[in-house]
Chains A and B, each alone.
Chain A
Amino acid sequence: MGLKVLAVDDSKTMRDMVSFTLKGAGHNVLEAADGCEALQVLGGDRVDLVITDVNMPNMDGLTLCREIRANPTHRLTPILVLTTEADGDKKNEGRGAGATGWIVKPFNPEKLLQVVNKVCP
């Protein structure tokens, strides 16, 4: 019943928290430290949801969004972007890159699960 979620963040603390919360809610979590690694982890297998940070080395979250949207296998996967800004440019950039929604930091377990439910059937 649980979802298969890929959590992408360069901060291990953040990955741990996301992972911890999702696993606690019965989901399976894959992790990647940046966009490049995320694409490798995804490979040819679909996941139910990608949660990604924006600022990351090698490949940032917005580029990852675009890569996923351009990938025939993964293009319709829901993507949640972790932003620090409550509003404005970052969200619009996320939208422009094809993100499904966003999670505004600070990390809040309840909010995370709420948003996951919001975009995942």
Chain B
Amino acid sequence: MSTNDFDLDQFKATYFEECAELLIDAETRLADLQHNPENVDAEDLNAIFRVVHSVKGGAGAFSFDQLVGFAHIYEALLDRMRQGQIQITEEIVSLLLTANDILTNLIQAAQDGISVPEEDFVDVKNKLNLLAFGEDDSSPVEDTETTATSDPDKGLKKYLISFIPKPELLQHANEPLLLVREMKGLGDLTTTVNTDRLPNIQKLVSDEAYFSWNFELVSECSLNDVEEVFEFVTEDCELEITIASPDDTSDQADTQEVSETSPPQTSAPEKSLETTKEQAVAAMQAPTIPSPPPPAAPGQAPAAAASPAAPRVSSIRVDLDRVDRLVNMVGELVITQAMLRQQVDNLPPELAAFMAKGFEDLGMHTREIQESVMAVRMQPVKSVFARIPRLVRELAAKLGKKVELETSGEHTEVDKTVIEQLSDPLIHMIRNSLDHGIEETPEDRIKVGKPELAIVNLSAEHRSGRIHIIVTDDGRGINRERVKSKAIEKGIISADEHLSDEAIDDLIFSPGFSTAEEVTDVSGRGVGMDVVRRNISNLGGRISVQSRPGKGTKFVMSLPLTLAVLDGMVVAVGKEKFIISLTSIIESLRPAKTELHKLSNGADVVSLRGEYIRLVRLHRLFNIPNAQKDPSKALVVVVEIEGGKQVGILVDELLGQQQVVIKSLEENYDPVDGISAATILGNGMVALILDVDGLDAMARQVNHRSDRNDLENENTDTTLLSENSKSLIQTADISEEKVDIPLSKETQNLEVMEQN
């Protein structure tokens, strides 16, 4: 193209960007191959092939000859590998890794406008050449010279192509004529049409495809080139491509004749020039190699892995600090970007519109950076799971139980921040299962007809953007009678309270349920399941238990994939803004006055589809002035709290969804009840992220001491319900009174702190 340089440079920039992405993909997949050379995913090979193919394609457009030359050989080898012509061995994988490094260097060199000295990579290039264009039967390659000169892959091949279009091919605007013409460009084409499917003119539909064809293509091109002709129609036809008699000498003589009559070289001059050049280079370089490459015959792994190319890993180790710093900086970037974005809104409309597109792109790129950086920190939970088998062995021995641990999903990935927090609750869950879940002795198990050996299963899986860690045992299940009587004894529930089985099971997470003297040596360390739940919920997670008496217990811990960012809903209360995690929000609504009720203990509830949902008045908990106090004029955000219960948070309005960077209050300030963390909004103001479970607990306390006057100030339609009329609404009898925190002051402090 005759173009001005500026535009070409633009294309180049995009090309190099894409190269970088492609290389990462290739590296990841190569790492897969390396870890599992015996069990190769065909898609990995295909993907790496496509990477190299794309790199070559772009390089060709910009005339990066050195890059094209190398990519061509690398691509050819991958093509043969994905066609199963070369078996994958450790040696080959490490050769691919080296080749990939060279490709990376060549791309970098092209970007810098320099060339790499050929001797830097000629060894590898020769090896690739040997494998890619060498003999492909099982007999070891004789010597490099002959391989470099006699090159069966370069010779003419006869492709037999059966092409039967589906009727809709033409309706998708694909045109067999163009496919034929493309093939004619590849070599010598003989076309045989089959018109059997063509109906009588009266029955013909003008845009359905009826003909089918058999093509015979004699060409030097690769199978890939032929496949590419049909790239767009593979779903719209039945296609079969076979190579008539590859590498057969008699056939070669045969095809040679054809080539005399119509030399296909003329149809693809560049290609053959390029390959002959490679051949020449290879031939020239081959004798100078000090130690000729080992006979890397396919299917054979030479015992002495004395390959000059030492095995290389396509990943690098990076100091955690550096990654953390990067994550923090990206977090700041997200915030700065959001702030700038808001400032743009304050510009005069013409200016704002002018900048809007740029900000859209900036926003997109920022998100991409953030996601990429987050992905860097993703680690398999394996590191945590790895500690469990030993724990189980030791505990089982101590308790005199026979337990087998099964694990699955250890490759499930989750952010480093979550990994760090996962260990303690997980160990606790496992301890609990072994200690309380599984029967006292193996004999007890035999008595109830279970195998002596108890099974504890630990698994991890991704589910709807979260990670689920599941601990299952096949023990005796939760003894609900005992749990209930203990809960009554501890004053957690009242004696006449009627609870569902699930609610009883859930009591084990109640504060004060397991006390010091009951904590056994094993489950010990002075924490009960209530602390476990509390810790998990501080992480934005949830833990629940399901139990079947006599059959076993299942703990499910669900955590966000990262603790560094959160998808939140920004809500306004008075002048304050808060964030509610999107994952906990069920719905939001503006209740009618008739749906608002007040319990005899002063708790506000809203009735929603026959259920009563406790209202949490943020303005009251945090002393926020000028907030909308009348729920029928405000909004109620219904959130799910632990144990699957729902509460309604009263807010003035919803301001929108936003991904926010989580700033720990513990690290930057002090823990605050009802608040899990803070973030900085686009306008630079600190907004607090609500801890909905904590809020519920606070609201209960407030209700307990709320006085009538306060309640009467509000114009809710007060209906008194009796305390027992709805078991859903339980009152927690909390002995210690906590102090209500004047939060708006704290918020101001935080702002000052952050601005310093």
A and B touch in the complex (CB under 8 A): yes
A106→B171 contact, CB < 8 A: no
Contact A108 B57 (CB under 8 A): yes
Interface assignment of B54: CB less than 8 Å from any CB of chain A: yes
Instruction: Tell me which residues from 1 to 46 in chain B have a Cβ below 8 Å from any Cβ of chain A.
Output: 1-3, 7, 10-11, 14-15, 17-18, 46
* Chain B residue with Cβ nearest A106: B18
Residues of chain A in range 100-115 having any CB-CB distance to chain B below 8 Å: 100-102, 104-111
Per-position binary interface string of chain B over residues 53-67, scored 1 when its CB falls under 8 Å from any chain A CB and 0 otherwise: 010011011000000
B173 touches A79 (CB 8 A): yes
Residues of B within 8 A of A102 (CB): 232
Residue among B17, B46, B47, B232 making CB contact with A106, cutoff 8 Å? B17
- Cross-chain contact B1 with A21 (CB below 8 angstroms): yes
B60 touches A101 (CB 8 A): no
A76: Cβ under 8 A from any B Cβ: yes
Known: A86-B50, A102-B232. A118 touches B17 (CB 8 A): no
Question: Which of A110, A119, A120 is the one whose CB lies under 8 Å from B57?
Answer: A110
User: Distance (Å) between the CB of B543 and the closest chain A CB?
Assistant: 35
Cβ-based interface call for B178 (8 A): yes
Interface size on B, residues (CB 8 A): 34
| Residues 690-744 of B contacting A (Cβ, < 8 Å) | none
Beyond A20-B7, A101-B231, A106-B18, whether A86 also contacts B61 by CB under 8 A is: no
**Contacts of B50 on A, CB cut-off 8 Å?**
86-87
Q: Please state if B54 and A104 are interface contacts (CB–CB under 8 Å).
A: yes
Q: Is B300 an interface residue (CB 8 A)?
A: no
Beta-carbon contact of A86 and B173 below 8 Å = no
Complex: A105 Cα to B54 Cα, angstroms? 9
Those of B154-175 within 8 Å (CB) of chain A: 170-175
Contacts of B17 in A (CB 8 A): 106
Residue of B3, B10, B11, B231 contacting most chain A CB atoms (<10 Å): B11
Is B357 a contact partner of A118 (Cβ separation < 8 A)?
no
Is B207 at the interface (CB under 8 A from chain A)? yes
Contact call B207/A76, Cβ cutoff below 8 A? yes
Residues of A within 8 A of B174 (CB): 78, 100-101, 119
* Most B C-beta atoms less than 10 A away, residue of A77, A79, A118, A120: A118
Minimum CB–CB distance for B504 against chain A, Å: 46
Give the residue name and chain of the A residue nearest to B207 (CB). A76
Q: Are B54 and A86 touching (Cβ within 8 A)?
A: yes
Q: A17-B10, A121-B177 are in contact. Are A101 and B232 (CB under 8 A)?
A: yes
B235: CB under 8 A from chain A?
A: yes
Measured CA separation A76–B205 after assembly (Å) = 14
Contact with B along A43-84 (1 / 0, CB 8 A): 000000000000000000000000001000001111100000
Chain B neighbourhood of A25, CB < 8 A: 1
Which residues of chain A from 1 to 58 have any CB-CB distance to chain B below 8 Å in the complex?
11-13, 17, 20-21, 24-25
Whether B357 pairs with A12 at a CB distance below 8 angstroms is yes
Given contacts A24-B2, A108-B58, A110-B60, contact A98 B172 (CB under 8 A): yes
Contact: B207 with A110, CB < 8 Å?
Answer: no
Shortest Cβ distance from A102 into B: residue: B232
C-alpha spacing A119/B173, complex, angstroms: 8
A90 proximal to B (CB < 8 A): no
Q: Which residues of A contact B361 (CB under 8 A)?
A: 11
- Assembled-state Cα–Cα distance A120/B1 (Å): 20
Q: In the complex, which residues of chain A have a beta carbon less than 8 angstroms from the beta carbon of B175?
A: 119, 121
A25 CA / B2 CA spacing, docked (Å): 9
User: Is the pair A69, B15 in contact by a Cβ cutoff of 8 Å?
Assistant: no
Asked whether, in the complex, the Cβ of A111 is within 8 Å of the Cβ of B18, the reply is no
CB distance from A12 to the nearest CB of B (A): 7
Residue on B nearest A76 in the bound complex, by CB: B173
CB proximity to A under 8 Å, residues B271-325: none
| Interchain CB contact under 8 A, B47 and A109 | no
Q: Does B182 contact A (CB under 8 A)?
A: yes
Q: With the chains together, A77 CA to B231 CA distance in Å?
A: 18
**Cα distance A59–B165 when bound, in Å?**
31
Secondary structure call for the B interface: helix
Nearest chain-A residue to B61 (Cβ)? A110
Q: Tell whether A24 pairs with B1 under 8 Å between CB atoms, given A17-B11, A106-B14.
A: yes
Residues of chain A contacted by B178 (CB below 8 angstroms): 117-121
Chain B residue nearest to A80 (CB atoms) is: B232
Q: Which residues of A contact B57 (CB under 8 A)?
A: 108, 110-111
Q: How far is the CA of A104 from the CA of B58 in the complex (A)?
A: 12
Q: Within residues 81 to 96 of chain B, which ones have a CB less than 8 A from any CB in chain A?
A: none
For the complex formed, measure the closest distance between the CB of B55 and the CB atoms of chain A, giving whole angstroms.
10
Q: Nearest CB to that of A100 among chain B residues? A: B173
User: B residues within 8 A CB of A121?
Assistant: 175, 177-178
Q: Which residue of B lies closest to A101 (CB)?
A: B232
Please, which residues of chain A bring their CB within 8 A of the CB of B7?
17, 20
Q: How far is the CB of A70 from chain B (nearest CB, A)?
A: 11
Contacts A86-B47, A100-B173; A109 near B54 (Cβ below 8 A): no
For A97, the closest partner residue in chain B by CB is: B172
Known contacts: A106-B14, A106-B17. The answer to whether A119 contacts B232 by CB under 8 A is: yes
CB distance from B442 to the nearest CB of A (A): 51
Interchain CB contact (< 8 A) of A118 among B61, B172, B182, B236: B182
Could you say which residues of chain B place their CB within 8 Å of the CB of A104? 54
Q: Are A107 and B11 neighbours in the complex by a CB distance under 8 Å?
A: yes
Contact with A along B312-349 (1 / 0, CB 8 A): 00000000000000000000000000000000000000
Contact indicator A118/B232 (Cβ below 8 Å): yes
Contact in complex: A100, B172 (CB < 8 Å) = yes
- CB contacts (< 8 Å) of B2 on chain A: these are 24
Least Cβ distance of A66 to chain B in Å? 12
Minimum CB–CB distance from B579 to chain A (whole Å) comes to 26
Residue of A nearest to B169 (CB): A100
A74 to chain B, nearest CB (A): 10
Quick one: closest B residue to A105, CB to CB?
A: B18
Contact A76 B171 (CB under 8 A): yes
B262 → chain A closest CB, angstroms: 22
In the assembled complex, the CB of B267 is this many whole angstroms from the nearest CB of chain A, namely: 15
For residue A111, which residues in chain B have a CB less than 8 angstroms away from its CB?
Answer: 57, 61
From B174, which residue of chain A is reached at the shortest CB distance?
A100
CB distance from A104 to the nearest CB of B (A): 7
A81: min CB distance to chain B, Å: 10
Specify which of A17, A87, A98, A106 is in contact with B58 (CB 8 Å cutoff).
A106
**Nearest A residue to B1, CB-CB:** A24
CB-based nearest A residue for B357: A12
Within 8 Å CB of A86, what residues of B? Answer: 47, 50, 54
With both chains docked as a complex, state the minimum distance between the C-beta of B26 and any C-beta of chain A, in angstroms. 11
The residue of chain A having its C-beta at the shortest distance from the C-beta of B50 within the complex is A86
> If the complex has contacts A86-B47, A121-B178, are A78 and B173 also in contact, measured as CB distance less than 8 A?
yes
How long is the Cα–Cα vector from A110 to B61 in the complex, in angstroms?
6
Quote the shortest CB–CB distance from A3 to chain B (angstroms): 13
- Name the residue in B47, B173, B207 with the highest tally of chain A Cβ atoms < 10 Å from its Cβ: B173
Interface residues of B in 221-239 (CB under 8 A from A): 231-232, 235-236
A-B contact pairs, 9 of them (CB 8 A): A13-B10, A17-B7, A24-B2, A86-B54, A95-B236, A100-B232, A106-B15, A108-B58, A109-B61
Other than A13-B10, A78-B173, A92-B235, give 17 A-B pairs with Cβ distance below 8 A.
Answer: A17-B10, A20-B7, A21-B1, A25-B1, A75-B171, A77-B173, A79-B173, A86-B47, A87-B46, A95-B236, A100-B232, A106-B18, A106-B54, A106-B58, A109-B1, A118-B182, A119-B174
Interface residues, chain A, CB within 8 Å of chain B? 11-13, 17, 20-21, 24-25, 69, 75-79, 86-87, 92, 95, 98-102, 104-111, 117-121
Closest 5 CB pairs of A and B: A106-B18, A101-B232, A78-B173, A110-B61, A100-B173
